[in-house]
A and B are shown apart, each in its own frame.
Chain A
Amino acid sequence: DAMVIQNPRYQVTQFGKPVTLSCSQTLNHNVMYWYQQKSSQAPKLLFHYYDKDFNNEADTPDNFQSRRPNTSFCFLDIRSPGLGDAAMYLCATSTQETQYFGPGTRLLVL
């Protein structure tokens, strides 16, 4: 089945230790998104790619970076995680306006 896959589903890291979250899709969608969601809050868009065109939200901290080496894969790098970065990280894809979410990665920072 066509889908959006995120790995790992749970990630524990130490304060300041870099971490990479991955997302892959079999939908062949040209747009991919990374969201951060904290408890009882709406998903917050961090960045999105339209094909290889990278779009950074104005309030996304520099600590967050992203890579999209090809259509299928997208990575979120957190260079120096802080306690405030503990959250669910959601990857989504779309061809037009309808977005489909992966299962998410729960990040815990110790």
Chain B
Amino acid sequence: QKEVEQNSGPLSVPEGAIASLNCTYSDRVSQSFFWYRQYSGKSPELIMSIYSNGDKEDGRFTAQLNKASQYVSLLIRDSQPSDSATYLCALSGGSNYKLTFGKGTLLTVNP
């Protein structure tokens, strides 16, 4: 049984700061990792995927994966109020294409 742990927050950062969101997981066979952003009342939106150890950057977002330590993180640089949302960590490791989600971290960026 895969488990994905996230700090539920809320995580509050000032505008322009770096927001750091963390996720740990229990299953060593997990191969693919995803970060989804979910605004209140809306559906999850994929913002990053990462498959290999190390960093992956896309604009203001950087995903970091460390399979040995079983954690994946998301850094948001120059945080904006529009980044205020719940961030869901998800992982996949099998051939059945199923994702296991964490409960999400609520991020609030204060102007």
Contacts and interface: CB of A to CB of B under 8 A. Distances in A.
Interface of A: 31, 40-43, 45, 48, 50, 55, 88, 90, 94, 96-104, 106
A98 B98 contact: no
- Report the 9 A-B pairs with minimum CB-CB distance, sorted nearest first: A42-B101, A104-B43, A101-B43, A97-B92, A97-B32, A42-B103, A101-B44, A31-B97, A103-B43
B60 interface: no
**Which of B32, B42, B97 has most chain A Cβ within 10 Å?**
B97
Given A43-B101, A48-B96, A48-B97, 7 more contacts: A40-B8, A41-B103, A48-B98, A90-B43, A97-B32, A97-B92, A99-B99
30 contacts: A31-B97, A40-B103, A40-B104, A42-B88, A42-B102, A42-B104, A43-B88, A43-B101, A45-B99, A48-B96, A48-B97, A48-B98, A88-B43, A90-B43, A97-B31, A97-B92, A97-B97, A97-B99, A98-B32, A98-B46, A98-B49, A99-B34, A99-B46, A99-B99, A101-B43, A101-B44, A101-B45, A102-B43, A104-B42, A106-B41
- The DSSP consensus for interface residues of chain B is loop
Contacts of B41: 88, 106
B39 to A, nearest CB: 11
Given A100-B46, A103-B42, A94 B101 contact: no
- Measured as residues with beta carbon below 8 angstroms from the partner, the interface class of chain B is 20 to 34
Contacts of B103: 40-42
A45 B2 CA distance: 14
A55 B96 CA distance: 10
Contacts of A40: 8, 103-104
A42 B101 CA distance: 6
B98 A45 contact: yes
A90 B31 CA distance: 24
